[in-house]
Structure 1
Amino acid sequence: MALGRCIDSAAVGHQHMHSHCVIYRLPAPHRLRPQQFHQPRRSQQVCAAGPGLIQKLSRVLREKAQGDLDRVFSGASKTRERLGVVEELFTYWSLEYADDTLEELEEALITADFGPKTALKVVDVIRSKVKQGELKTGEQIRGELKQSILNLLHTRGGNTDLQLGAEQPGVILVVGVNGGGKTTTIGKLAHKFDSEGVKVLLAAGDTFRAAAAEQLQLWADRSGVTVHTAARGKARPDNVLYEAVGRAIKEEYEVVVCDTSGRLHTNASLMEELAKCKRAIGKRLANAPHETLLVLDGTTGLNMLNQARQFNETVKLTGIVLTKLDGTARGGAVVSVVDELGLPVKFVGVGETVEDLQPFNAADFVEALFPAPAQT
């Protein structure tokens, strides 16, 4: 059975062997040391899961330590402000008023866009432990709240690896609604791959929006990567992606990142067009795309759940990229998406530069929402 090559954006610094793939887990950004970085060499041949390629791919998502986490989750402060009432509930916690307080906690989570279903699930865990006498103080309640959300993120969305298959090229299909940040995300992904010596091809599958290919080319120019655009008379997006994958095979590219037109998840004909794009990729390369990532605008709150549900039904998503996290007070919605759909958050975007795409770390996200109280 072929071995898959997987890139982990999470926080463990060793590899695990599985029957279907080799998972290379990367250190969390804040645990890296400068001596862990070295300049990779670009491979010159196609090698299924070869060690040189694996080494390069396993380094793609590592980030330098200084200030990474503050930058990644700086936007969580706005969600944290909306959750300010929760801290008051912890501070003035009393078993005598436990039922009323837990109802207020549930309402606070819903206000922060955790969603009724997810908020109830989290609070029910706390309520049960309070009744059993396991939780008695506000500090214990805070700890259990954080742990319950963290457990949910890990169990429902624990697989944050980029899984690119056993053979080259690995193909990533990027989808989403208009204005969510797809092209920007693709540009940042390309930069990450290219900076680690991975030969990457971008496919300009957005043939609908004016100047979409030009925008993708601008991002490509920043990193010096190649863009495959529509041939004359073949402007259908499925044709573009089919030909891009074929080119990648012929010219020995290691990764293909496919752009697509933004579309409303409620538009049935456009969603069917997207499904056709995915089928075209699979016809050119068996088992591709290896990743289908939905880019979600973090400012849309619970609307992202409806988007994710429809896109998942149409093209079977493998993960989420959350953008604009630096400008939203509605960060709780991502927990609801993970909970209800079982989709992992693989990256978060927090700015406009090529460096502003970071691996998602559930523990750091929860800590940013519910930080430990300042010591007096």
Structure 2
Amino acid sequence: MRVDRSAAFVQVFITRFPLAYRCFSCRKIKRMPSYVPFYTCAIFDFFRKKEQASDTDNKNSLKSDNHQLFKYIVDRSTADWNQVVKFGKGLEKTRENWSKQFQRLFTTDEMEQFPWKELEAMLYSVDLGTKTTKSVLQELRKIVEERKYKQVEDVKAALKEVLYGLIVSETTTDASSKIATEPPTVVFLVGSNGMGKTTSTGKLGYKYSLQGKKVLLVACDTYRAAAVEQLEIWASRSQVDIYTPKPKQYKPTAILFDALEKAVNEKYDLVLVDTCGRMHNNETLMKELSSMCRIVEKKLGRGPDEVLLVLDGVLGRNASTQVKAWKNLIPVTGLVVTKLDGTGKAGYLVSIIHEDKLPVKWIGVGEGLEDLRSFDPQLFIQLLFD
């Protein structure tokens, strides 16, 4: 069967091992070849089944919610297939971790025998943390009681619903990227060494350049050896401009001032500033970062439009400590989480969004230019399970 990605029937995330599909030409049940990754799932006759939905589905609010979630995945796949595939591939290790946990947990069919304590332990083990785990269990029990669920499989679907609710309703900050009404838009990328700031700066420059924006990267990391050269390589790969320090120009504040002069005079749309890697308890470097914010305010009449904290996805729950510390020192507007493709702990993003009230704006799911992806809450939750 030839699969047309532009057609209405697209690949949807239905079950963990959805390797069977119905051929539209012969109507026979067939199976996917073994080399097809399971996260791409099965061809699902979504629109035809939608027209044949039973009255029972309409009475069940959870099924209705999942129906809408599937519809969203269909629409998202049609609009940006590459985004869905890259996102799914990047979360593969985390999904495998969750699947193993659920296989061990959901061994009974009747709600009377459901192991709530084991579910609580499982949520801790996938890095949701104490506060978020308690919130999840409280809401989950409420849904089970109100809807009078009798089947354990309904609990898994409800859990998906609860997690999605947490990262959407409790994200108090706009998750979209902020663009200044009067250019240039200035974005700081901050964080500790080794988190992926320089790489993210280059990839972000590429993302905005694809939107037709005139982008200037600013190499303000003068402390780390070869940081400037590394950003120059990314600027070349992204085909965007870069401002590098003049000879014997070591102070990031001086570099930023000159870069802003260039950005204003040459009418750049976006200025992405790669700052020095620093620990939040380094008082000298934190004061320097505050001075850089004042430089922007002096030059443009406002502070940085975005301050993005870059975190390594491998940190898991340990990232929460960094988030809280940085928030107390500077006005962080959002998070960039890198290297999610290398960790099985991506579930901790739920707790960071829920507890710290900060949006995840970008996630790194690979080493390529296009592997910095905008964070999609609905897609994220679906891909954690399926």
TM-score under structure 1 length normalisation: 0.78
Shift in CA distance, 31/291, structure 1 to aligned 2, threshold 3 Å: farther
- How do 1:52-67 residues align onto structure 2 when only pairs under 5 Å count? 65-67=80-82
2:276 to 261, 265, 280: 261
Shift in CA distance, 28/283, structure 1 to aligned 2, threshold 3 Å: farther
User: Displacement of 1:169 after TM fit?
Assistant: 0.4
In 2: Cα distance, 1:93 partner to 1:268 partner = 56
Aligned residue number for residue 332 of structure 2: 317
1:342 to 357, 360, 363: 357
Answer yes or no: is the 8 Å Cα contact 2:363–2:374 preserved in 1: yes
User: Displacement of 1:308 after TM fit?
Assistant: 1.2
Give structure 2 stretches of 5+ with no counterpart.
Answer: 1-73
Aligned-residue CA RMSD in angstroms? 2.0
Aligned residue number for residue 94 of structure 1: 110
User: Displacement of 1:200 after TM fit?
Assistant: 0.7
Shift in CA distance, 28/274, structure 1 to aligned 2, threshold 3 Å: farther
Deviation digits for residues 8-38 of structure 1, max 9, x if unmatched?
A: xxxxxxxxxxxxxxxxxxx975232xxxxxx
2:215 to 200, 207, 225: 200
* Secondary structure, aligned partner of 1:311: helix
Answer yes or no: is the 8 Å Cα contact 1:73–1:368 preserved in 2: yes
User: Greater Rg, structure 1 or structure 2?
Assistant: 2
Q: Does 1:149 align with 2:163?
A: yes
User: Displacement of 1:130 after TM fit?
Assistant: 3.0
Please say which of residues 309-318 and 150-159 is displaced more in the overlay: 150-159
Shift in CA distance, 221/342, structure 1 to aligned 2, threshold 3 Å: same
In 1: Cα distance, 2:303 partner to 2:168 partner = 26
In 2: Cα distance, 1:135 partner to 1:207 partner = 59
Answer yes or no: is the 8 Å Cα contact 1:73–1:325 preserved in 2: no
* Secondary structure, aligned partner of 1:269: helix
Question: Which residue identity lines up with residue 288 of structure 2 in the other structure?
Answer: E
Q: Does 1:164 align with 2:179?
A: yes
Aligned residue number for residue 60 of structure 1: none
In 2: Cα distance, 1:89 partner to 1:71 partner = 29
User: Displacement of 1:128 after TM fit?
Assistant: 2.4
User: Displacement of 1:133 after TM fit?
Assistant: 5.2
Aligned residue number for residue 354 of structure 1: 369
User: Displacement of 1:112 after TM fit?
Assistant: 0.9
- How do 1:92-241 residues align onto structure 2 when only pairs under 5 Å count? 92-98=108-114, 101-132=115-146, 134-157=148-171, 159-241=174-256
Shift in CA distance, 75/102, structure 1 to aligned 2, threshold 3 Å: farther
Percent of aligned pairs with the same residue?
39
Answer yes or no: is the 8 Å Cα contact 1:73–1:326 preserved in 2: no
Question: Which residue identity lines up with residue 141 of structure 1 in the other structure?
Answer: V
- How do 1:6-25 residues align onto structure 2 when only pairs under 5 Å count? none
Aligned residue number for residue 76 of structure 1: 91
User: Displacement of 1:93 after TM fit?
Assistant: 4.5
In 1: Cα distance, 2:138 partner to 2:284 partner = 41
In 2: Cα distance, 1:78 partner to 1:112 partner = 12
- How do 1:9-48 residues align onto structure 2 when only pairs under 5 Å count? 30-32=77-79
Aligned residue number for residue 250 of structure 1: 265
Answer yes or no: is the 8 Å Cα contact 2:143–2:158 preserved in 1: no
TM-score under structure 2 length normalisation: 0.76
Answer yes or no: is the 8 Å Cα contact 1:72–1:349 preserved in 2: no
Deviation digits for residues 171-202 of structure 1, max 9, x if unmatched?
A: 11111111111111111111122233211111
Question: Which residue identity lines up with residue 89 of structure 1 in the other structure?
Answer: L
Deviation digits for residues 34-92 of structure 1, max 9, x if unmatched?
A: xxxxxxxxxxxxxxxxxxxxxxxxxxxxxxx3343122232323223332222443341
* Secondary structure, aligned partner of 1:231: coil
* Secondary structure, aligned partner of 2:81: coil
In 1: Cα distance, 2:153 partner to 2:256 partner = 53
Aligned residue number for residue 305 of structure 1: 320
Deviation digits for residues 91-110 of structure 1, max 9, x if unmatched?
A: 41533234xx2221121111
User: Displacement of 1:205 after TM fit?
Assistant: 0.9
User: Displacement of 1:295 after TM fit?
Assistant: 1.1
Shift in CA distance, 114/167, structure 1 to aligned 2, threshold 3 Å: same
Aligned residue number for residue 19 of structure 2: none
Answer yes or no: is the 8 Å Cα contact 1:29–1:69 preserved in 2: yes
1:85 to 96, 101, 104: 101
Shift in CA distance, 342/203, structure 1 to aligned 2, threshold 3 Å: same
In 2: Cα distance, 1:131 partner to 1:195 partner = 49
User: Displacement of 1:132 after TM fit?
Assistant: 4.0
Question: Which residue identity lines up with residue 119 of structure 1 in the other structure?
Answer: T
Deviation digits for residues 200-255 of structure 1, max 9, x if unmatched?
A: 11111101111111111111111222111223444211222222122211111111
Answer yes or no: is the 8 Å Cα contact 1:272–1:314 preserved in 2: no
Question: Which residue identity lines up with residue 31 of structure 1 in the other structure?
Answer: T
In 2: Cα distance, 1:88 partner to 1:184 partner = 38
In 2: Cα distance, 1:66 partner to 1:133 partner = 35
